[in-house]
Structures are given as structure tokens and as C-alpha cells.
Structure 1
Amino acid sequence: MSIKNVLSIAGSDPSGGAGIQADLKTFAARGTYGMAALTALTAQNTQGVTGVHAVPAAFVANQIRTIFLDVRVDAVKIGMIANAEIAEAVADVLRLYRDTVPIVLDPVMIAKGGSPLLALDAVDAVTYKLMPLATVVTPNLPEAAALLGETIATTREEMAAQAERLLKIGPKAVLVKGGHLDSEDSPDVLADATGIHWFEGRRTATSNTHGTGCTLSSAIAAELAKGAFPAEAVAIAKTYLAGAIAAADTLTVGTGHGPVSHFYEWW
């Protein structure tokens, strides 16, 4: 069987822990060939973001169109979008492929250190332009609340209810991640046409969690490219991420929130 090709549409993280860099590492770790269309350049390290330079929306669209004109794309992951204009440009291109290519949307809004990565006026564009195109959407609790214009969920019941409300906007499946819950566990909940599915997980005692959202969504995209159904892809991706987090302290990258170990199965 041929190696599957996965395209990431996201921003760059020069420290290598999140964004395009994390996506490409994850694609490789999951046995797929990674490609990248950049939406923004960031100046950041493990302590935070000091600057964002958005790529012109027309050029973002040109990158994506050029890939599709030449390369078989087996799945797409969308990460940092930066602004409404880019969201609309990405949606205009991907609308042509929504029925043939799985799309994973990670609605990145805030960096691990608290810096905003999505303009406030872009939330509606992400919600109503990109979400309906997605096979799986992967918001964390603050992102799910922002997409819905609601308060942040604090219980499993509220998580599941928000996942179901997001599903009504149009994606095929919604995975609300419970990493922000105040509990010893880190459960995620998937809502799709078949109902509600829970994915349990134990927390690992580490501060090195930079890029976990990017890594999970990219792993899901890789598994969808290989033919997995959404629930199966989520289960595989969550197991992979748990291992990458557990091995994160074997890396010594920066003095803040360090990255996970994407290649822990090989190193």
C-alpha cells in the first residue's frame, strides 16, 4: 500500500513544539507523508509568543490549490488560522474537496502561554465557514465555549452537551477535549451521528505539554488518511499522544512549557 499524504494548514512555531513543526513530526511518526501550507509566522519559544505575522490570505489559498493540483491529498489538518480573511480563503478552496478528503479542524485560539492566536473577529468565520467542512473538530474546553458563545464546561455532562451543540453546526464529528477539567483524569468526548463516545485518559505529571492539541489533531488526520473511522482515529491518536506526553521529560527544550516527544517509539 502507498504511503498516505497529509496536508497541514497552520502556523509556524520556530521552537518546534507546536504548529506546522509538530504536525510534520506527527505525520511522520504515524507513518504518513506530511506537507504544509503556512498561514502565519510566529515568534515564540517554550515561554510564550512574542509576535505573529499572518500570511496574506490569497497566498495561503495559492499554497493549498498548488498542492491539490499536483499531489494526492489523503487528509487535511487545519490548525492556526490567524484571522477571518484566511479562514474564508481556506474554506473557499477546501469546499471543493469536502466530500472526498477527510478534514480535521483544530480551532487554535490561544497559545499554551496564554497569547491569542486567532483574531476575535475570526471566531465566527471558523465556526460557520470551516466547521461545516470538517470530518472531525477538536476544540479544548475554552475553544468549545468560544465557538458556542457559552461559558466553559466544568463537568462531563456539560462537555457532552457542548459537543452535541457543536455537531449541529455541521461537522461530521466533534471531539471536545477535557484537559482543562479540574480532575485527575483527562477525558475526551466525541459526538457524531451514532451518539456520544468517551475516551478516558490519566494525567501525566509534566509541564512539557506544548503542542499537545496540534499533535492530537494531526495524529487523527493521519489515521483518517489511512482509512480509520473517526472514533477509531481518535482512540489511536489519544494513545499515541499519551505516550508522547509520558516521554516528554526525556527532552530538554527550553525553560517553559516544553514539547512532547513525538518520536518516543523510536528513541
Structure 2
Amino acid sequence: MVEITCVVDAKAELGEGTLWDPKAGVLWWIDIWSRHIHRYDPATGRNDTFETPEYLGCIGLREKGGLVLTMTDGFHFFDPDTGTFEAIADPEADMPDTRFNDGKPDRQGRFWSGSMFEVPGRKVEFVGSLYRMDADLSVHRMIEGVGCSNGLAFSPDSKTMYFSDSYSGRVDAYDFDPITGDIENRRTFIDMTVTGGVADGATVDAEGCYWVTIPVTSKVCRYDPDGKLMQTVVLPTDLPTCCEFGGTDLDVLYVTTAVLKRPAEHFAGQKNPGGLFALDVGVKGLTLPAFKG
């Protein structure tokens, strides 16, 4: 039986961006709509917050210290000690209807983040893209025609990249070149119509299996490298959003959830909506290297 513990009852509007820092022994995560970066220390239970000027997309560690991240207007560096942000690049400066969303570093120290269409009340337009930022801070558009970038993860051997447009109804796999960062040979990895819901944040474990959060369904699911469903964990609240392994032995799966400004009556019978959860799922994960730029 999976042990599930709410470690921060944050009531996050849109928790996302789980990232384990093995040197500091802390979990970084974000609340996109509340515009906060969080730093949770499992040793003390302390959860520090840092305010951001815009909606966040995703975060990564930076080799030179601090974080690399995306916000509504593109790629930035962030120094937690001073609270300062440094703009790097905004590849969608001419696109007011998109913002950056899911992403993370690959195992070679490049930083990836994708964008999404977000205009309340309007039909989804597939105008977003997935980008790769190299150590020299050059930004490359890798996938176009995206409604909502999500589900990004890299296999342990760096030969496969996983990615989902949440509006596509699937998770795709690509052949990944670890030397160049190029991708090719897209194919369907998971048909989300089978599970219901859509793919959100994801990671892989040390055995090469893919873990993905599925909002609205309360589920976090594990798939083997062939796309076969291996395990389903049901959370006590309905909207899991992102997951990543952490802890001293990388044996804790941290999962963010979201409230999404829904009324309190929606959560009748649920526990800790918008909380950060720690799961003992019986397998270990992998750390991602810091961005080399």
C-alpha cells in the first residue's frame, strides 16, 4: 500500500514545477497563479516562499547558483539570496496569448520549457511551442503547434524524450540525441483516452518507468518504457499537477496539486487540496543536473 502524506498544506492555486536539489536537500516547487516559488525542507518541515513578478512556467537548478526558470515572458535566472531576476530571452514576445508552462533540464544540462495558449473564454489555439535553451543561452524551437506543453521527461539513458500536448489526448515519445539535444521519430507513447483526463507534469524513475500526474482524476500513474500501465496511485484530492523524486535516497515521490480558484464546496470529501504530497511508491528516482549556462 502506498503511503501518502501531505507535507505542506499550501492550498496552492496551481502547484507545479517539482525539483529536487540534492546538495541542499530541499524540494523546489512553484504556484503558478499565486506567483510564488517555494522551497520545502523535509528535514525541518519549513516551506519558504519567494514572490515572482509574473506567472511562472517551470524551474531548474543552475550550475552557477540559483535557479533558471521560465515566466510569462520567457527565460530568466533567479537568485534566491537577493530575490533578483535576470531576463535571458523571450522567444514569444510577439505572442500575447501564450505563456510558458512545463519544463526541466535534460541530463546533459540544457534547459527545456514549453508554452501554452491561455486566454479564458476562448477556444484553444495550437500556437505554443517547446523550446531548448543551451549552455550558451541560445534558444531553439523544437516542437511547434502546441496547445499546452506538459509531461516532459527524459529516459535514464537519455535516448528517449517524453512530451505531451495536454490537448492532444496522448503522451508522445521521441528519439533523443544526448550530444546535440535534437529529437526525431515522434510516436504515441500513452493514449490518454484510456485513462481519462490529460497528461500534466511527469518524471521517470531509476528503472526507466514514466510517472505522470493526471488532473481531475486524482491519479498519478506509472508506465513502463513500452507504455504499459504498471501502477496507479489515487490521491485524496482531485487535481495532481506535477511529480518528482526527492529525499536523501531519492525514494520519495513529491506531488503538487491545485485548487484552481474553485469554490470550497467542490472539495467536500477531499483532503488537503492544493497541498504538496510525499508518496512512498516503492521505487527510487533520478536527479537532474543543473543548467550549465
- Where on the TM-score scale, by shorter chain, does this alignment land: which range? 0.3 to 0.5
Normalised to the residue count of structure 2, the TM-score between the two structures is 0.35
Normalised to the residue count of structure 1, the TM-score between the two structures is 0.37
Higher strand share: 2
Higher helix share: 1
